[in-house]
Chains A and B, each alone.
Chain A
Amino acid sequence: MITFELNGEAVQADVSGDTPLLWVIRDHFKLKGSKFGCGMGLCGACSMMVDGVSTRTCVLPVVAVANRKITTIEGVGNPQMLSTLQQAWVDASVPQCGYCQSGQLISATALLKSNPNPSSEEIDQAMSGNICRCGTYPRIKKAIQSAASKAVLTGQSTQDGGVNIFEPGAQAKEGMA
């Protein structure tokens, strides 16, 4: 039995410890937002935040995340309450086929959390583990820059608050008010 925190809730999984976290999340917890892409940690479709760091979970044995905090795309926001980054994604029509975008958003969220105002090169670096076959890179970069500048403009710290990682939708709701 392995215990960890999944999107803010303590959970337990009775699975073989060598099972990659991705398949535990998808097959056991039935959260399907994180995707299988390569099985070798090369494409980033499976990215989740492990203690805030974007991590390839298709090669991460679940035993390695015991007692750690896992955030999947479902923990970033939802259609009714988008995070600032998700809203930027929608506004810039980033997704095409959409399959890689959960992983892209996880890496982008982790980036802004640690670096509220990244340079173009820093974005390239932080997103280098995430492949998009549809070629949405220019729009991903634009959306990250737009979300970062919004956070800076509103004087918010992107440490949790600015990109609303754990309180999805707060900013979207403010925007509507």
Chain B
Amino acid sequence: MSQQTDPLISSRRSFLKNTAMLGGGLLIGLPLSACATAGFPKAGDKDFQPDAFLQITPDNQVHFYMPRSEMGQGTYTGLTTLIAEELDVEPSAIHVHHVGPLSDYENPEIGFQATGGSTSMRVSFKPLRQAAANARAAILDAAAQQLNLPKAQLTTQNSQVLAKGKAFNYGEFVEVAAQLGVPDETPLKRSNEFKYMGKDMPRLDGVAKSTGTAQFGIDVDFPGLHRAVLVRSPVAGGSVKTVDDSAALAMAGVKKVVTIYNGVAVVATSYWQAKQAALALNIEWNEPEKLASFSSDTGKKWFADALNSGDFEEAFELGDGKDGLEKASKVYSAEYWAPYLAHSTMEPMNCVVKIEEGHCDIWVGCQTPDVARGLAARICDLSIDEVTLHSTFLGGGFGRRFNSDFVAEATEIAKASGLAIQLVWSREDDTRHDFYRPASLARFNVGVDKNGMIESWTAQRAGPNIMPYTLDEVVDGKAPGFMPNGLVDWLSKRGYGLFNGLTVDHSSVEGLYEDYDAVNKDVQHVTVDPGLPVGFWRSVGHSFSGFFKEGMMDEVAHGQKQDSVAYRLAHTKNNPKLNGVIKLAAEKSLWGKPLSKGHFHGVACHNSFESSVAQVAEVSVVNNEIKIHKITCAVDCGFVVNPDIVKAQMESGIIFALSAALHGEITLKDGKVQQSNFHDYPVLRMAQSPEIDVHIVASDKDPSGVGEPGVPPVAAAVANAVFAATGKRLRSLPLSLS
């Protein structure tokens, strides 16, 4: 039985779908009332606090408690703009706060307080505007009463109520507004009334981030805080067999050496002392056999064997894919490969934990604060009300900080050492102990009818699934406190089996099949998991499927002697958004027009996170070196709140994806990750960055994702340009001609 899936559904949404299947909505329907007020900022007696998001003080300060994490994607500015618009307050005048866990801040598409899946603007667009509009209406009600004027004679402007030519601060009315209560269905502004939305505006966190004053997790400090360095098993999932810590304990500044579930931690007065002492530890490990037997040079065969085994789960069916191939006048077949990838956020993982007198305080920048808090509570044997999580800016997320492993480690170290500690990962730790983008091998068979149109699109993918690894943490972090740890462990481990045989993790196949018109489609999946932890890596399944699908489409177009753009346009009749961005990217890149000598164009497009993106890469190849000169990008992401931030996210996604396309590869030897730092896991630098030209489709549809959708087409656009330049079809990442 195939699992019918909405082609545009995001992977995190399928997380809901999949977890709902697990236990009849167990995760989603967790009782959260116990923590309904925990973590919420306490209002002053006379403040007006209409909901969990807003607070207006008698001295006219407006505070916004931002329900999502700011990790570079621009929520700090974007979500504040929504509030500013409907509350009628200058955006830069609003005090923006990071928040701890609170049920009001849950992400409705993900089911817990998560920042991910390019959902922040999409899920906040109406609720936050509504909250602000209601608050403004309440202020106006209070003003009408206090000034004894009909409400119709009052207007607002920049935190003030205007009445009969006079201006009164909102703050003058907050006490009465708090007593009168808040209307809940206030009409929202029409688009022709927008003052801030839809316009370019500098980022509100720009000053803090240009002066070194923005506080990241790693910057948290207080008297008595110790630093911890953790040495983990070089094979992920291993544990400590024996440890000799005598030399480390004798070193300057070292306070404690503690063994936790996955390694040995040195706790010292300063980071440098802890780091030096960690080198003096002598540890023997228990290593998981399966992963220890995996090496990348031979392990690719694991994936190929799985594809050849025929032991597939059905992931998606439309019409009859196999029959369509038999009836086709020509069938194109190819296999595509993408390796494991690390996230390499600029800020290495870190977390501060202080456990004192039955209370645990955590300071961290992360994408899932409520899961992190739940994990810490379970480790400390405290209720979630006894754990306070303080959020900071994130020095990059890209999905890495969706996992809470570093919070669990820090909590274990604080508990075992009895000291307030800051756990700081080194770059080597970060590269070698990631939740990696899953390696993937896919095989396509695409049948074309006698008119040259695609009759049947079939794909098979072999690789690990993300969901079991995420479930592991989410169940641990969100299961009710009364469940014993053993039961929670058992439940969380069910995920591994569940996605290997029972149901297909949508993020393993998303993007392989949805975008192009074909009457017959068939997608199958086989799980191959050496045991290296995998996770959400910017655009998730689309990060590899965009490359696979768009390379394959180019092969079919070329085989049919069709223009790459025209052939894509002919197969997106039922997909007007994608069709539109292909046209726009082609037009703006001057597709089909002569280029500089030795320069070639390649095109690719992809839908993800409900947005459509098309890109044209201009590339030259000299001595087998691929040089990318320019990427022209067209995006349709619905209504745009801040066009400059959308452009920035496209630039960001493109450069992030180019690092992966040209350099990104994590390899293993006997289960150990071989890369360690930026010399052997290089990322793009300024000199390699191409010119980027972004065009946004004007739209009045609700906003959709922008943080991730810029990523998927990039590698394919470059590879397709390399084919145009050399006639060589690159089907493996990173792209290499030698």
Contact = CB atoms under 8 A, between A and B. Distances in A.
A joins B in a complex: yes
B404 interface: no
Given A16-B252, A78-B211, A124-B686, A93 B645 contact: yes
Interface in A66-112: 72-74, 76-79, 82, 86, 89-91, 93-102, 105
B424 interface: yes
Nearest to B652: A135
A98 B216 CA distance: 9
Nearest to A123: B686
Interface in A105-155: 105, 123-125, 127-128, 130-141
Given A73-B211, A138-B651, A128 B74 contact: no
B531 interface: no
A21 B271 CA distance: 12
B7 interface: no
B396 A90 contact: no
Contact of B678 (A40, A74, A123, A139): A40
A163 interface: no
A37 interface: yes
Interface string B192-220: 00000000001101111111111110110
Given A37-B348, A133-B398, A135-B656, A78 B213 contact: yes
Contact of B206 (A30, A37, A93): A93
A135 B207 contact: no
Interface stretch (B339-347, B489-497, B578-586): B339-347
A42 interface: yes
Contacts of B261: none
A118 to B, nearest CB: 12
B683 A131 contact: yes
B678 A93 contact: no
A72 B212 contact: yes
B29 to A, nearest CB: 34
B677 interface: yes
A42 B218 contact: no
B651 A135 contact: yes
B679 A42 contact: yes
A86 B210 contact: yes
B396 A89 contact: no
Contact of A40 (B71, B393, B427, B655): B427
A86 B206 CA distance: 9
Main secondary structure of the interface of A (DSSP, over half): loop
Given A42-B678, A133-B398, A137-B686, A35 B346 contact: yes
A36 interface: yes
Give the interface centre of A82, A93, A100 by most chain B CB atoms within 10 Å.
Answer: A93
A135 B163 CA distance: 48
A82 B692 contact: no
Nearest to A37: B346
Contact of B202 (A37, A91, A135): A91
A34 interface: yes
Interface in B681-729: 683-687, 689, 691-692
A73 to B, nearest CB: 4
B426 to A, nearest CB: 6
Contacts of A123: 686
A79 to B, nearest CB: 5
A139 B345 CA distance: 19
A98 B206 CA distance: 8
Nearest to B426: A39
Interface in B209-261: 209-216, 218-219, 221, 227, 252
A4 interface: no
Contact of A35 (B202, B270, B395, B686): B395
B684 to A, nearest CB: 7
Contacts of B396: 97, 99, 133-134
A100 B212 CA distance: 9
Nearest to B692: A138
B213 A93 contact: no
A20 B656 CA distance: 30
Contacts of A72: 212
A102 B212 contact: yes
A96 B428 CA distance: 24
A57 to B, nearest CB: 12
Contacts of B659: 133
A131 B202 contact: no
A128 B685 CA distance: 6
B202 A97 contact: no
A165 interface: no
Given A39-B427, A73-B211, A133-B396, A95 B206 contact: yes
Contact of B347 (A35, A78, A90, A139): A35
B73 interface: yes
Given A38-B678, A91-B202, A32 B346 contact: no
B216 A94 contact: no
A16 B203 CA distance: 41
B654 interface: yes
B209 A95 contact: yes
Nearest to B209: A98
Contact of B221 (A32, A33, A93): A32
A30 B345 CA distance: 23
Given A40-B677, A78-B213, A89-B210, A98 B398 contact: no
Interface string B65-108: 00000011110000000000000000000000000000000000
Contact of B211 (A34, A36, A43, A86): A86
Given A78-B211, A133-B344, A141-B686, A99 B395 contact: yes
19 contacts: A32-B212, A33-B211, A35-B395, A40-B677, A43-B346, A43-B678, A77-B211, A78-B211, A82-B211, A86-B210, A93-B206, A96-B648, A99-B396, A127-B685, A128-B687, A134-B396, A135-B653, A138-B691, A141-B686
Given A99-B346, A133-B656, 4 more contacts: A27-B272, A74-B212, A91-B202, A135-B652
Interface of A: 16, 19-20, 23, 26-28, 30-40, 42-43, 45, 72-74, 76-79, 82, 86, 89-91, 93-102, 105, 123-125, 127-128, 130-141
